[in-house]
Structure 1
Amino acid sequence: MSSATGPVSFFLFYFFMASGPFLRSDASSSSDDLIADACSRCSEANPNVDYGFCVASFESYPQGNLAENLTELGRISIDILTENVTGTRDFVNGILENESLDPYVQGCLEDCSELYSDSIPTLADAAEAYDEGRYNDANIYLSSVMDASSTCGEGFAEKEGTVSPMENRNNDVFHLCAISLSIMSELRRLPVQEATS
């Protein structure tokens, strides 16, 4: 390593930290950059956030590329989560229409259906709290939904040999919750002008 590397690295580190991880002052910066920056920062701060999953979640959502700042991206993350939870609830109820289900699996699915049905109004509360800047309240609501996805999976695990048809769905909900929670964690640390510019 050359002797010049140290000062250069220090300058780049200082410049990056001083400009803020989500500062959006450049009007030409694309929403793709915002998504990449946000997902990178969140995945570094939270082991439950996978960078690739995070980026794909926003890019596959119709409004995912419309965010102009971190605050808007956080709100979109709750919309994505809400759509996913609603779809998961419908998925569970669809499986429950099968009259030949194993009784134990049926009981687990009924519990999951209730958990996800309850999560939908909880997410509405989370969105309202988020919109009002009550991030601590939104955090509580989102953590409740995250717990619901884990609880659903735990039911199947209690009986050895039981195969859960919910594993992928539960994992997606869990990781989407982690994304929303991580973005809010960043928002609480940033000055308002950086989060909304």
Structure 2
Amino acid sequence: MKPISSVSPLILVYLFLTEFHITNTRGLIKKACETSLHKGLCLATIKADRDYKGAKLRDLAQIVPKAATSNATALQKEMEQLLKERAGTSVESALKDCKENYDDAVSQLEKSKQALEHKRYNDVNTWVTAAMNDADSCEQGLKEQADKDSPIAQKTFIFGQLFSNVLAVTNKAAACATRSV
């Protein structure tokens, strides 16, 4: 019986540390997303990434641009498909512009991820804001050319929310980095 009683404290310590780690990660995710205008999407984006468990705030800040880049890449592919489907229509030129804008947005997001790795938070904000402007220009162009709503309006709306989350989480990471210096 003695071996069982000596194992029990070890199990309790393990369970305590595991629960502490899980609770700490949850708290950090909430902290990362607390200033976001789209908290639900921010939390879901981070939790959807397999690397979020045990991540530090700076690591969590890298997850959100990764999701935005993935979204932008999907929109690029959709633009290519729409260009094929709507060749020769009044929206074709706007779709071509959108394709270029999303090419730029993906490039800017890649640059923002590199800047984030080097803790250049102001550069991240610059690149992400530029990418947001590209997405907005695309949507405006489509609205002007199309007789009805943009064919990608809902997706660009979500894209904008992801960008907003990138800025919120990056600013939170920057604020924490400044305090720890």
Same fold (TM over 0.5): yes
Which of 44, 47, 62 pairs up with 1:59? 47
- Distance in structure 2 (CA, Å) of the matches to 1:34 and 1:107: 45
Instruction: Report if aligned partners of 1:85, 1:173 keep a CA contact under 8 Å in 2.
Output: yes
List per-residue Cα deviations over 1:68-109 (Å, max 9, x = no partner): 2211110111111111111110111112121x5562222211
- Distance in structure 1 (CA, Å) of the matches to 2:172 and 2:122: 13
- Distance in structure 1 (CA, Å) of the matches to 2:87 and 2:155: 19
Q: Secondary structure at 2:23's aligned position in 1?
A: coil
Displacement of 1:66: 3.2
For the pair 1:175 / 2:161, whether they are aligned, the reply is yes
Displacement of 1:148: 1.1
AA aligned opposite 2:82:
I
Equivalent positions of 1:69-108 (< 5 A) are 69-98=56-85, 100=86, 103-108=89-94
- Distance in structure 2 (CA, Å) of the matches to 1:130 and 1:89: 23
AA aligned opposite 1:112:
C
- Distance in structure 1 (CA, Å) of the matches to 2:72 and 2:175: 28
Larger C-alpha radius of gyration, 1 or 2? 2
CA 1:167 to 1:117, structure 2 compared with 1: closer, same or farther past 3 Å?
A: same
Instruction: Report if aligned partners of 1:108, 1:156 keep a CA contact under 8 Å in 2.
Output: yes
- Over aligned residues, Cα RMSD in angstroms? 2.3
AA aligned opposite 2:131:
V
CA 1:117 to 1:191, structure 2 compared with 1: closer, same or farther past 3 Å?
A: closer
Instruction: Report if aligned partners of 2:62, 2:113 keep a CA contact under 8 Å in 1.
Output: yes
Displacement of 1:161: 3.5
Displacement of 1:192: 5.6
Equivalent positions of 1:19-38 (< 5 A) are 27-38=21-32
1:110 alignment counterpart: 96
List per-residue Cα deviations over 1:132-166 (Å, max 9, x = no partner): 11111111001111111111111122257332111
2:12 alignment counterpart: none
Displacement of 1:51: 1.6
Displacement of 1:31: 3.2
For the pair 1:166 / 2:159, whether they are aligned, the reply is no
Instruction: Report if aligned partners of 2:90, 2:146 keep a CA contact under 8 Å in 1.
Output: no
Instruction: Report if aligned partners of 1:71, 1:187 keep a CA contact under 8 Å in 2.
Output: yes
Displacement of 1:30: 4.8
Instruction: Report if aligned partners of 1:156, 1:162 keep a CA contact under 8 Å in 2.
Output: no
Where structure 1 has 5 or more consecutive residues not aligned to the other structure, the ranges are 1-25, 44-48
Where structure 2 has 5 or more consecutive residues not aligned to the other structure, the ranges are 1-19
Structure (1/2) with the larger helix percentage: 2
1:11 alignment counterpart: none
For the pair 1:131 / 2:122, whether they are aligned, the reply is no
Seq. identity, %: 23
AA aligned opposite 1:35:
I
